[in-house]
Chains A and B, each alone.
Chain A
Amino acid sequence: MASTRDIRRRIKSVKNTRQITKAMELVAASKMKKAQQAALAGRPYAQLMASMLAALAPHVEESMHPFLAKREVKVRGILLVTTDKGLCGPLNANLFKLVADVKTPAKFAAIGRKGAQFLARTKRDLMADFQVHDRVPFPEVKVAIEFMVKQYLEGVIDTVEVIYARFKNTLVQEPSVRPILPLTSVAEFIAHASTEAGATAKPDAREMLFEPSAQQVLESLLPFYVNRTIYQHVLSGKASEHSARMVAMKTAKDNASKLLGDLTLEYNKARQAGITQEILEIAAAQYASS
């Protein structure tokens, strides 16, 4: 049996750990609220825009805009959205699993330090990494988006995809791969998702009217769509991060509490054993001397 002093030391360290994880839980909880709100508020907007594009797809020609052109996919371009810090449970590891599933040639860009580290460690082709702060200011995300789009237009990469943790609720975050460019893949993806959801799309077969002109509308809508969608994914990733961290910290705190209970019991037992031992010794000594 460990000595009482050892156990006391152990209790002290566990208590410290509990205190820290508790503080981190509270911090994560308050950040989580804001991040979740931001992610959820933007969702209908992103969805509506996606369905707008899906409806649009049959009415436009590939030649109208470089974003629409379908090309042979030689190198995929993937933007990996991870966290900067650790201690958020299996969140990043799940995303890395998705990355590991990418077998075809691909080039990566990363938002978040963890992702950049992982890509560098596994010797994947990391083109650039970007830092985005907790409040997810749009200009910071925009830098990353512009980079990806530039690579796409120059032909360095043939697709733009985002791997991120889709925020479902506080307990569930889905690691997901979302195609962004070319838009034909988006239309397929949306069609697939909506048929899976059991929604019946009723396409309007009549010819679509563009005002002022198709060229002009597409030129402003498509880049806007790309910006907005990727930004939404990053927001979602942040919400997932804080949720995952809060849950992880709560588990750690609960574990520490449980451990503390066990240790205290052991400590008391050891102490009691010591006292009993002493009494026995005193009694024995008295008996011997009398």
Chain B
Amino acid sequence: MALTLEIVTPEARVYSDTIDTVVIPTVEGEIGILPGHIPLLTQVESGELRVTKGGAVHHLAVGKGFAEVQGDKVSVLAESAIEEEKIDESAVEKAMERAEEALRGKESLDPAEIERLEGVVRFAVAQLGVKRRRR
């Protein structure tokens, strides 16, 4: 028995494969999902998502979103998601600085924009966390 995992963001379908297990970061902490999991709907927090497939572990950074388990299908809807190999540390740091800079002038921004920028920062932190985990 295998699970199918699908990770989709507004920009693209980032991941779509059959896997063995997946660990998803949620607002209540990490949850591991094995085949036969009961139907579940939960909120995803930005962080590290681990996929195990044939003994190998893949790491992805995901932004805020939702995850659903139905039968043997795991769907993750995230604002953003990226595979570990594709994370560009310096670009992420720059994006983070820019967003933090913009957030400093908070009063002049509307709430939706602040939320978006905070999302960018959180996702950046998650990416760096995934990338620097082994060092």
Contact = CB atoms under 8 A, between A and B. Distances in A.
A91 to B, nearest CB: 25
A211 interface: yes
Contact of B42 (A45, A49, A206, A217): A217
A185 B24 CA distance: 31
B40 interface: yes
B10 A211 contact: no
Interface in B77-107: 77
A97 interface: no
Given A41-B12, A45-B10, A55-B68, A209 B39 contact: yes
B43 A208 contact: no
B13 A207 contact: no
Interface in A153-180: none
B116 to A, nearest CB: 8
B77 A49 contact: yes
Interface string B1-21: 000001011111100000000
A52 B77 contact: yes
Interface in B93-130: 110, 112-113
Contacts, number: 77
Residue of B26, B70, B71, B112 with highest tally of chain A CB at under 10 A: B70
A48 interface: yes
A205 to B, nearest CB: 9
A228 B10 contact: yes
B57 interface: no
A43 to B, nearest CB: 10
A72 interface: no
A50 B113 CA distance: 25
A142 interface: yes
A239 to B, nearest CB: 15
Q: Which DSSP category, helix, strand, loop or mixed, fits chain A's interface?
A: helix
A190 B83 CA distance: 31
A150 B112 CA distance: 17
Contacts of B40: 208-211
B41 A56 contact: yes
A52 B113 contact: no
Nearest to B72: A204
B43 A212 contact: yes
Nearest to A221: B66
B39 A208 contact: yes
Contacts of A210: 40-42
Contacts of B38: 206-209
Contacts of A206: 38-39
A139 to B, nearest CB: 6
Residue of B12, B27, B28, B68 with highest tally of chain A CB at under 10 A: B68
Interface in A189-217: 202, 204, 206-212, 216-217
Interface string B62-80: 0000101011000101000
A52 B10 contact: no
Contacts of B113: 139
A217 B43 contact: yes
A51 B41 CA distance: 13
A220 interface: yes
Given A212-B27, A212-B43, A221-B43, 6 more contacts: A48-B77, A55-B68, A139-B113, A204-B70, A207-B39, A208-B40
5 contacts: A44-B13, A48-B6, A55-B70, A211-B40, A211-B42
